[in-house]
Amino acid sequence: MALAPQAAALLAALAGMPAPDYSRLDAASYRAAIEAGRAAGTIGEGDAVAAEEDLTLPGAAGPLAARLYRPVSQQASLPLVVFFHGGGFVACGIDTHANLCRTLAARANVLVLSVDYRLAPEARFPAAAHDALAAVRWAAAHAAQLGAIPGALAVAGDSAGGNLAAVCAQQLQGEVAIAHQLLLYPVVDCSHEHPSYETYGSGYLLDAGLMRWFKDQYFESQADRASPLASPLGAERIEAIAPATIVSAECDALRDESERYAERLSQAGVPVTHVRWPGQMHGFASMIGVLDAANAALDLSARALRAALHP
């Protein structure tokens, strides 16, 4: 299927940008390019919330910045969603994904805690995974302090952040009660390239070459890429982990691995809702105010969180 008209127009507008030379690209330059795009202000800021509070919480090797989004609500205490941003384990942060967090907080009527985990190549695998695990453990233990309902906890993330959310749902099973996992076009297999890398690996925003570059920044050892802390798709035991909502994009190099993970969860008896968004590319849910599909996908995501966290 062809790209949806709005997605095609967005990609056409970006088509004049020079393709990076991945053999020479460095993380600082890539981050600067992301920040320049964000500063252009073409993407919406998301729904309004009552408050945003910057926090510091303990990570696996030191303090991590975080931000708590509080929706307009009549409830004194609310469920909590711990959110991990995408960016290939290399870039982005709390600010780049604030629009997603605000919108999920407002539409699902939940607190959203967005966590700034350590980035590669300065902190290579498994730094990000260990930080994510530490953040969820801390959030669960300090729910009341945050104004959250103890035990009403979900994890969420997009792309690389979806990887971290999936890792947390697997690794903390039996230790932390996680009610749901919301995974937006997640990276779930760092050890293999699936057929969608070939089909949608060029010209659809997330190039296969960029994904390979991300992995080279994150991993020092090829063997590490198959670890369940990196590739939750390959984990041997996934029974009894949190129910999942997985959103994949039709025109995305990561489509096949995201959808294979949904299949594996279902086969293991884990309740899972998977929606492939037609005509969309990787990262589309962040394009609030640009793509109508972003609004629809976040509506669906918020409904899933509401159903899981507001009995």
Residues that are catalytic: 159
Contact between residue 27 and residue 308 where contact means Cβ atoms under 8 Å apart: no
Contact between residue 216 and residue 26 where contact means Cβ atoms under 8 Å apart: no
| DSSP code of residue 225 | G
The C-alpha atoms of residue 201 and residue 253 are separated, in whole angstroms, by 5
The full DSSP string for 108-149 is HT-EEEEE----TTTS-TTHHHHHHHHHHHHHHHTHHHHTEE
3-class SS letters over 186-212: CCCCCCCCCHHHHHCCCCCCCCHHHHH
Contact between residue 167 and residue 244 where contact means Cβ atoms under 8 Å apart: no
Contact between residue 206 and residue 77 where contact means Cβ atoms under 8 Å apart: no
The C-alpha atoms of residue 288 and residue 268 are separated, in whole angstroms, by 34
Radius of gyration in angstroms for the set of CA atoms belonging to the chain, rounded to a whole number: 18
Q: Are strands 111-115 and 180-184 parallel, antiparallel or unpaired?
A: unpaired
Directed axis angle between helix 160-171 and helix 127-141, to 10°? 60
The C-alpha atoms of residue 129 and residue 248 are separated, in whole angstroms, by 22
3-state secondary structure of 214: helix
